[in-house]
Structure 1
């Protein structure tokens, strides 16, 4: 049985590494030459489960886009269910959940540099932990893998890929991460279980939990320029108060050292126009220029739940001030979220999970936006100038 499983996994890896994608039910994307224009943003598109439709889109400074740049350059699919992206040492590292791989992509040419095989986990999120290594979490699975972020990216495997440096079993789930020195903060994926702090040199020994409000599995842990890690979530200090709480965690001290509360209406009927009344159920967070950003629902009429529209709040971690940053009109279903170094808000619209190519809606401070068509279910953004 074990031999059969290993053989099946080898076949699956070979399919990802070498097979071109030609099934009739896969969308046909335009064949274009790879551009040498300036990349403004990289989009990771999750794709449809079991369809091998995970992809990378490149948005250029002139507004044009290559919707499936990895396939275009390498003549094969990226993999099945792309989850995250990190720019490390001149390459994009993309965990591919259902393919059990981390794809390494040249940041300039988009050529595949390596495929790191991770059969022991479902790769979900990635964070650099040193100049030469990164850690990949397993989402609702358990454990991490430690990988090399420098060539040749690990020992060669019989399947033609590269091996992870180490598999590290743990007792709990792990989603987004942030690393500072020898400490690692990990989101449990739960809005009530808080953040777990690990020592990087003894991950399998478990970690200590800090109970802070957190939006959950889709919300990043955000590291500011002073290496304070921020978690954001809804919180009720008492029966008459509801806030969005931003908790700043010093990982070395394993303690919350700063909190910023943004008032939220207790209920829609008591809300006034302009009040923050709720957050999207699938909430996201980002940081740019030492300011935190997260989507919210804002009342546009007094006491009317159905008048709410989506917008974005900005929180200055140095001054503790906050404001409604912009509105995000004409948005279908938010899936991905990011803020560029220029302050533009990027929202991945997955078109209500309708199994068609999604859009990235790019908003400025005035709420004006432009739309670009990308891949299926745009989920993560990477801004090369932000790294």
Structure 2
């Protein structure tokens, strides 16, 4: 596995120095470690970096002071984040940074950015979803199984077979089921019974469902890429029955992606070249975009759950450092942030 030696050394250091407790000190690599203590509201931005370049990074932004700190993982821990920072999730006072091609999830203190734990032995992790205090699911690009982890110990408890479907991506919890989309070269939404940890149902949608969210009315939304002879589309699905209620087709050159809900879970945002916004109860697509295309590459999208402000990531050319644009809930520009290479995912730290 890529970076296996580094992870073995890191795990040994964690055990030897007691770094599994918050605030422990890492001594690794030539980078001088910096002490951070950034409490309160904030925003983590995972910057994927380039595949096989080992240049993923993590940025942190304070919306109130407009203070931006780049490469905080490297600066706090004295080591690189790894290869392709896919996503980040906060749970129970801990940050979980999923590094896809490095096959690792770092557990960090969200105020100091220091490593407090490590989840390994996953092939190509994409997202982590917390089912309860004892259970977290990890989706995977190449492994046709969902990995089940106990977040109290960061140890793998089991794996759930996906009946040959790999490239599981985003997950949502709906009652006693976890719903997950299969993205790469697939067209399925799968349902897992959390009580038995078994695959129990599936739904065929369009080609390559790339996003998944659950609104306040119990409706599941996905976005499909489309292909020759099939238009890209938004799909509204009854989460309880997995029956398709509505399919909204888009032009072939504007596939939807990055589905995101506001804090009330009743307004849907997505990227389809422009940034679009609509009510989850609308029966047609909006006529005008929320944020028009500006000759750039909108790549990531996040909605501040406290203020409704909109953050849009611009990957530019996938090589140079990217940009994040901050807008009010009405679409007025507020700030522009220069971050790492290919910013893609936002994780909001709340009070």
What TM-score do the two structures reach when normalised by structure 1? 0.73
Structure 1 residues without counterparts, runs of 5 or longer: 24-29, 155-162, 265-276, 297-309
Deviations 1:214-244 (A, max 9, x none): 7633x2x1122344322234789xx9x9784
Q: CA deviation at 1:66?
A: 0.8
1:114 maps to what in 2? 117
What CA distance in whole angstroms lies between the structure 1 residues aligned with 2:258 and 2:295? 15
Mark the CA change 1:141 to 1:232 in structure 2 (over 3 Å): closer, same or farther.
same
Would the aligned equivalents of 1:20 and 1:76 in 2 still touch at CA under 8 Å? yes
**1:210 has 2:203 as partner:** yes
The equivalent of 1:274 in structure 2 is: none
Q: State the Cα deviation string for residues 177-218 of structure 1 (Å, max 9, x = none).
A: 112222121111058613112223444x5442212347633x
In 2: Cα distance, 1:335 partner to 1:69 partner: 22
The alpha carbon displacement at 1:350 in A equals 1.7
Aligned equivalent of 1:200: 194
Partner of 1:167: 159
Task: Confirm or deny that 1:63 pairs with 2:66.
Answer: yes
What is the alpha-carbon distance in structure 2 between the residues aligned to residue 80 and residue 16 of structure 1?
A: 16
Please tell me whether residue 128 in structure 1 is matched to residue 130 in structure 2. Answer: yes
Any idea what the Cα deviations from partners look like across 1:16-61, whole Å, max 9, x if unmatched?
65685669xxxxxx99763536433211111233333222211111
Q: Secondary structure at the match of 1:71?
A: helix
Does the C-alpha gap of structure 1 residues 280 and 69 become closer, same or farther in structure 2, counting only changes over 3 Å?
farther
CA–CA separation in structure 2 for the residues paired with 1:21 and 1:373: 26
1:317 to 1:280, Cα distance in 2 relative to 1, 3 A: same
Q: CA deviation at 1:138?
A: 0.9
Q: 1:357 deviation in Å? A: 2.1
Larger Rg: 1
Other structure's SS at 2:74 match: helix
**Counterpart Cα distance in 1 of 2:221 and 2:300:** 19
* Deviations 1:291-328, CA, capped at 9 Å, x for gaps: 111123xxxxxxxxxxxxx4322222246576445224
Rounded to whole Å, the distance in 2 between the matches of 1:52 and 1:98 is 9
- Aligned residue number for residue 17 of structure 2: none
Taking the TM superposition and a 5 Å limit, the aligned residue runs for 1:326-365 are 326-330=290-294, 332-341=296-305, 342-354=307-319, 356-364=320-328, 365=330
Give the TM-score normalised by the residue count of structure 2: 0.80
1:248 and 2:237 matched:
yes
TM-aligned CA deviation for residue 248 of structure 1:
2.9
Q: Are residues 1:378 and 2:343 paired?
A: yes
The match for 1:286 is: 260
Which residue pairs with 1:184 in the alignment?
A: 178
Distance 1:336 1:32 in 2: 28
Q: Secondary structure at the match of 1:108?
A: coil
Decide whether the 8 Å contact of 2:40 with 2:349 is kept in 1: no
SS at match of 2:38: coil
Aligned to 1:301: none
Give the drift of 1:165: 2.1
- Cα separation, partners in 2 of 1:66 and 1:48, compared to 1, 3 Å: same
Q: Is the 8 A contact 1:213 1:231 kept in 2?
A: no
- Seen in structure 2, the aligned counterparts of structure 1 residues 343 and 311 have a Cα distance that, compared at 3 Å, is farther
Instruction: Say whether 1:312 aligns with 2:275.
Output: yes
Q: How many residues align?
A: 328
Aligned: 1:100 with 2:103: yes
SS in 2 for 1:172: coil
CA RMSD of aligned residues (A): 3.3
Instruction: Report if the CA contact (8 A) 1:329-1:367 is conserved.
Output: no
Q: Structure 2: 5+ residue runs without aligned partners?
A: 14-26
- TM-aligned CA distance change 1:74 to 1:339, over 3 Å: same
